């Protein structure tokens, strides 16, 4: 089955700097890759997603890139702010609607 690896497990950045979180997946049939932000004790919130027919997607300070050949995708957050501090999860699925397999998560700390 699908396996998603996520790095780093923790990431500390200074406010205003950029943060990059990387994930790799094992199943070449996966074609939907969302990123979630989860604050302590709360539900995961979708922040951006990408399908395999595009290589990059951007939404204000957040962007996701996908390399299908290498089977990896990355989350980029620019101009980080303290409120960006949370746990971020990547995930993958075969077709939108099928089960999501999550990465282990990255604790992002933005220091002011």
Residues lying near other proteins in the complex (CB under 8 A) = 34, 41-46, 49, 89, 96-97, 99-105
Is the separation of the CB atoms in 60 and 80 below 8 Å?
no
- Written in H, E and C, the secondary structure of 17-41 is CCEEEEEEECCCCCCEEEEEEECCC
When the beta carbons of 42 and 70 are compared against other proteins, the nearer one is: 42
- CB 31 → other proteins: shortest distance, Å? 13
Q: Tokens standing for 12?
A: 């500390």
Neighbours of 48 (CB within 10 A): 19
- CB 6 → other proteins: shortest distance, Å? 8
- CB 37 → other proteins: shortest distance, Å? 11
When the beta carbons of 25 and 89 are compared against other proteins, the nearer one is: 89
């Amino acid at each position: 089955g699908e396996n998603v690896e996520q790095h780093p497990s923790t990431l500390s950045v200074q406010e205003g700097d950029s943060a990059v979180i990387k994930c790799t997946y094992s199943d070449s049939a996966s074609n939907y890759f969302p990123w979630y932000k989860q604050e302590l004790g709360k539900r995961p919130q979708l922040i951006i997603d990408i399908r395999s027919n595009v290589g990059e997607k951007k939404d204000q300070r957040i962007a996701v890139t996908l390399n299908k050949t290498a089977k990896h995708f990355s989350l980029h957050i620019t101009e980080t702010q303290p409120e960006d501090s949370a746990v971020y999860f990547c995930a993958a699925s075969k077709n939108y609607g099928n089960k999501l397999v999550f990465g282990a998560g990255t604790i992002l700390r933005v220091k002011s």
